[in-house]
A and B are shown apart, each in its own frame.
Chain A
Amino acid sequence: MTPWLMAGLLFTPLAWAVLTLLVNFNRGRLISWLGILVQVVVSLGLWAAVAGDGGFHYQLGGWPAPLGIELRVDGLAVTFVLLTALVAAACGWHASIYLDPAKAWHRYFWPLFWFLWAGLNGVWLGGDLFNLYVGLELISLSAVGLVALGGESAALRAAIRYLMAALLGSLAYLLGVALIYGQFGSLSIAGVSRLLGEAGTAPGQTLPLLLMLFGLTLKTALFPMHGWLPPAHGIARSPVSALLSALVVKASFYIAARIWLDLGGYLGSYGLAQLIGGLGAIAVIWGSWRALWQAKLKQVVAYSSVAQIGYLFLLFPLTWGVAEPVSLQAQQGITLQIISHALAKAAMFLAAGNLIMSVGSNRVDALAGVSRFLPFSLFSFGLAGVSLMGLPPSGGFAAKWLLLQSSLASGQWWWLPVLLAGGLLSAAYVFRVYRASFMERAGTDRFFHPSRSLEVIPMILALLSLGLGLVAGPVLSVMVLPFGEGGGQ
């Protein structure tokens, strides 16, 4: 059973990429709906399998690591696989209605979309440093292609900027990998961390870790390397922006986190952890602050991504040299933050797309009077905003709560103001949008109602991110499942 699930996960996206490449947009839409269905089913199946009897290692080609590529299929991985399935399904569905079939180049959305999905699945499951590099490149290039789709000057500009950042990042990462391989002669993360654990081996270098983390944080748009993100996410079509903000940036962070949790203990240092955490903290404040002053709606959302991603980097200080339960608490908090941000941000971008379509302008102040028409999309935007603000009962709140707890427990109280101020600032920019929509102004009749299904999709995502806080317990219990013997929490 599991082999087939793995196959479905790794290969159907690739197959669908090829299929959709051969047909035009409308046929690609039909094919993709089928593929999305398959993917969701498969992801659910694998998630259930792991939740049922624990994670396992999967050897591709039947060759064990270090000779072959070994995938690590554990609770965290399948959690993200499932998340990807949900968000990508929503974005694909939305795009299939949102994008205009008449534009010839939109047909290329589907193959890029499927390659992106394949790359994401590969990264979540990847346990081999070099394989992760290839997966990252798969993701980056298809993401760049999606941003540049349509090839309008501003989009190209954003895409090039994005591509340059991504290339530099992946090279830095690859250099780190090269050094690691040179030292240990192995590419599997688990293998390297095992070697580091053994007494005999010489102490590892810090530089490889630094290089890999630099590359990955650059791809994750950590302050001050975030310059490429807002233009790229702001200018892409809304479904694309949703994919990028919700999933793509998370992929590189996920790798960074895995490396940190496995190797950071040996190769990292308190200073490094604090530095990364500090940059994340600055990103939270700075990103929210910039979001507050953007004139264009999607730029607001894009900058909010910079801020929300900043929270994730608190993982590094909160897991270095702290007690095991505290570290676990922090990991759970970050996982929740990733999930809820993915859902909320996807909802927000899709809703923003609908709003833009409704009022026919991408400026915030053009929303005046929209709330009179009571469009679902505004609600979805608001509900997603609640999660970003970290107000209960959203997943964002649960995440913030766990982070507060672990900062208090680890005695690193200086993260508290960041967590609180970040929430308030995000409230500020979300309410700025509300405010604009509540403004009563004459001549708001030029208002177009997007089709129902376009409005329903972001609503579903927003409700998921809102309700996540209520079911945080079960979700997290799967994530901490150990290998082999399952069940135990």
Chain B
Amino acid sequence: MSLASLLPVFALMTSLLAAVIIFTLPERSFRLRTLVNLGAAVIKLVLVGVMIWGIVQGRAYEVAFTMVPGVRFVLRADALSMLFAGLSALLWLLTTIYAVGYLEGSPNRSRFFGFFSLSVASTMGIALAGNLFTFFLFYEMLTLSTYPLVVHRGTPKALRAGRSYIIYTLCGGAVLLLAIAWLHGLVGDLSFRPGGYFAEVEDALRGPLSLIFVLLVAGLGVKAALVPLHGWLPQAMVAPAPVSALLHAVAVVKAGAFGIVRVVLEIYGLDAASDLGLLAGLAGVAAFTIIYGSARALYQVDLKRLLAFSTVSQVSYIILGLCLFGPVGVAGGLVHLVHQGIMKITLFFCAGNYAETLGVHRIDELDGAGERMPATSVAFTLGAFGMIGVPPLAGFTTKWIMGTGALAVGMDWVVVVLVVSSLLNAAYFLPILHRIWFGERQAAWPQERRWGRLETSAWLLWPALITAVLLILAGLLANLPVSPLSWVELIVAREVAL
């Protein structure tokens, strides 16, 4: 096979090798570790860029070999996988920068960064997986490599959180394995392909296929935090801020959502899925999750827990978009995969900054944070507005497209859901913004740290600002060929044959 076709492998290897090297590095060699981290991240970004370019040219990169008799290990770069790969590659770079600053001087750093790169490698593998089997392989690898990050602090609280995380995800994995094995037994090794395999289903298979679909969604739904499988997510907030950012914006939650996308679009196919009456149910679950998550977020006092519940709700937009039967809805869902990532990571960066610089964790401690940390607060505000869906930010684009998609297929109730959830978003974000900007500071900050003339460490500040800018651009320039939206339209053109 040619060197070009190995690109997916290289993209995977960059972070894998980084992980191996970092594990072997001694704790104190800070410079070298940072160098390896950032170097690998940059290289990966470049590789992904090259692949994206190639795919625009119509090339396809695929590596495959038989792993177990009858099962192939397939790495393939197609338009859809690039959407996720690009997102994770970009955000890995930013999160790494952020994490370097965040963990400065704390113990167990080479362990942390080792597993950090490992989990990014798994995410990459999930993005590039060419069939369900390969997908599952990296899906479980992700579970294992994120556990040490969740329990990183080693406090009883962290260990409890890690325990429930591992129980949820492993049980989900078991269900997923059962479903995949069953599907494999029925129809053999299915590599992802646009339009799926079950355009016409003979009646004998209808029952099993529906059941398998339910199992698949249940297995993936655990990571995607579909209600009622979302229990681990708020607990996992004890993890350090960069980890939460990674878990929410890129790695875990998105892996689940992405898996559902793959299954619906490229295994079952939209038509078959809706024909089996599966999408309606999924849409119901997604809608309920959206409302439920936002409603729970209203009552949180801890900033990160609030963000967690907002994630629960936001991720289901992606799934809801899928269930809109039409290309437009799918486009809305897919583009939200990117937009939500950027917005949510911005919010987490800012939350982390507040916690690191001012020691603020609770919402009611945020009074007057605006004048103490203007840049961070601006970024936070942008992220919040994006979530609410204020034009012209990224979130607005998503919701608009999804709304039109829903109307196009006559599912007006979805629009209601969108509106309600936006109102709820506003209801829990605006009070925070009010505290930040207009709140009066009485007491001193819980534990403040000074960083010279900057409001906080540059390592912490810049990533937040960059993502904030990105989320403006993603909305403003949505119609430029470089925007996520146009990429998604390319995907939809290829996936959902019209």
- B-binding residues in A (CB < 8 A): 329, 332, 369, 371-372, 374, 379, 386, 389, 391-393, 398, 400-402, 404-405, 408-409, 416, 420, 423-424, 427, 431, 434-435, 438-440, 469-470, 472-473, 476
**Nearest-CB residue, chain B, relative to A437:** B154
Asked whether A374 lies within 8 Å of B185 as measured between CB atoms, the reply is no
Q: Which 9 A-B pairs have the closest CB atoms?
A: A440-B154, A392-B137, A408-B185, A404-B181, A420-B174, A398-B68, A391-B140, A472-B68, A473-B66
In the complex, which residues of chain B have a beta carbon less than 8 angstroms from the beta carbon of A392?
Answer: 136-137, 140-141
Of A409, A427, A469, the contact of B68 (CB 8 Å cutoff) = A469
Of A329, A389, A416, A431, the contact of B178 (CB 8 Å cutoff) = A416
In the complex, which residues of chain A have a beta carbon less than 8 angstroms from the beta carbon of B151?
Answer: 435, 438
Of A369, A371, A405, A472, the contact of B184 (CB 8 Å cutoff) = A405
- Measured CA separation A476–B73 after assembly (Å): 16
Q: Which of A372, A379, A427 has the most CB of B within 10 A?
A: A427
Of B68, B73, B143, B155, the contact of A401 (CB 8 Å cutoff) = B68
Taking chain B's interface residues, is the majority helix, strand, or loop, or is none over half, making it mixed? helix
Taking chain A's interface residues, is the majority helix, strand, or loop, or is none over half, making it mixed? helix
Q: Knowing A405-B185, A420-B174, A424-B174 are in contact, say whether A473-B68 is a contact too (CB < 8 A).
A: yes
In the complex, which residues of chain A have a beta carbon less than 8 angstroms from the beta carbon of B148?
Answer: 371, 434, 438
Asked whether A386 lies within 8 Å of B69 as measured between CB atoms, the reply is no
Asked whether B170 lies within 8 Å of A424 as measured between CB atoms, the reply is yes
In the complex, which residues of chain A have a beta carbon less than 8 angstroms from the beta carbon of B108?
Answer: 371-372, 374
In the complex, which residues of chain A have a beta carbon less than 8 angstroms from the beta carbon of B435?
Answer: none
In the complex, which residues of chain A have a beta carbon less than 8 angstroms from the beta carbon of B110?
Answer: 374
Asked whether A427 lies within 8 Å of B185 as measured between CB atoms, the reply is no
- A-binding residues in B (CB < 8 A): 23, 27, 66-71, 73, 107-108, 110-111, 136-137, 140-141, 143-144, 147-148, 151, 153-155, 159, 162-163, 166, 170-171, 173-174, 177-178, 181-182, 184-185
Asked whether A408 lies within 8 Å of B181 as measured between CB atoms, the reply is yes
Asked whether B69 lies within 8 Å of A427 as measured between CB atoms, the reply is no
Of A372, A398, A439, A470, the contact of B159 (CB 8 Å cutoff) = A439
In the complex, which residues of chain B have a beta carbon less than 8 angstroms from the beta carbon of A404?
Answer: 177-178, 181, 185
Could you write out 18 A-B pairs with CB less than 8 Å apart? A371-B108, A404-B185, A405-B185, A409-B185, A416-B178, A420-B174, A423-B174, A424-B170, A427-B166, A431-B147, A434-B147, A435-B151, A438-B148, A440-B153, A469-B68, A472-B67, A472-B68, A472-B69
Q: Knowing A374-B23, A398-B67, A438-B151 are in contact, say whether A427-B170 is a contact too (CB < 8 A).
A: yes
- Measured CA separation A391–B147 after assembly (Å): 14
- Measured CA separation A401–B310 after assembly (Å): 37
Please name 20 further chain A to chain B contacts, defined as beta carbons within 8 Å, in addition to the given A470-B73, A472-B68, A473-B69, sorted by A numbering.
A374-B23, A389-B170, A391-B140, A392-B140, A392-B141, A401-B71, A402-B68, A402-B69, A404-B181, A408-B182, A416-B178, A424-B171, A427-B166, A435-B151, A438-B154, A438-B162, A439-B154, A472-B69, A473-B66, A473-B68
In the complex, which residues of chain B have a beta carbon less than 8 angstroms from the beta carbon of A372?
Answer: 107-108
In the complex, which residues of chain B have a beta carbon less than 8 angstroms from the beta carbon of A424?
Answer: 170-171, 174
In the complex, which residues of chain A have a beta carbon less than 8 angstroms from the beta carbon of B147?
Answer: 431, 434
